[in-house]
Amino acid sequence: MTLTITPLYAAALTLLFFVLSWRVIRYRRANQISLGDNDDKNLRKRMRAQANFVEYTPLALILLLIAELQGAPGVALHVMGLGLLTGRLLHAYGFASTPQNIAMRQAGMGLTFLVLLIGAVAIFAHALF
């Protein structure tokens, strides 16, 4: 079986991770903060946006990959992938805004959780039935 859908979302999400990481690196360089956060609220916010991405995205991509390997319909995979990508974009934007855009941040987390929940339930159901 050739994987055609998961790689698209893995690549797009990796680009988003690159942007989040670059924001941390650029801020560290501009403010000469090599280690830790130097009690800098702006750096801490950038670091948490990046870390939150890393905490949720890999598991969602694994679920997407398993669903694709189990033969889930392409439409379902794209709905999951687009939901994840949109959720992560909304969360990152809401988190990075000054002041934070709480509604976008919450919408992003909601979408991310929805993808995780639907993916887990669907894979579990497919494995049992």
pLDDT given at position 1: 76
Longest dimension (CA), the chain: 56
Average model confidence (pLDDT) across the chain: 96
Q: Indicate the domain borders of the chain.
A: 6-128
Q: What DSSP string runs through 25-70?
A: HHHHHHHT--SS-TT-HHHHHHHHHHHHHHHHHHHHHHHHHHHHHT
Q: Does pLDDT of 108 surpass 90? A: yes
Q: Which whole number is the average pLDDT over 15-27?
A: 97
Domain 6-128 grouped into CATH 2.60.120.260:
no
Q: Quick check: 108 and 88 in contact, CB under 8 A? A: yes
What pLDDT sits at residue 96?
Answer: 86
pTM: 0.93
49-104 pLDDT per residue, tens: 999 999 999 999 999 999 999 999 999 999 999 999 999 999 999 988 889 999 99
Amino acid at 56: Y
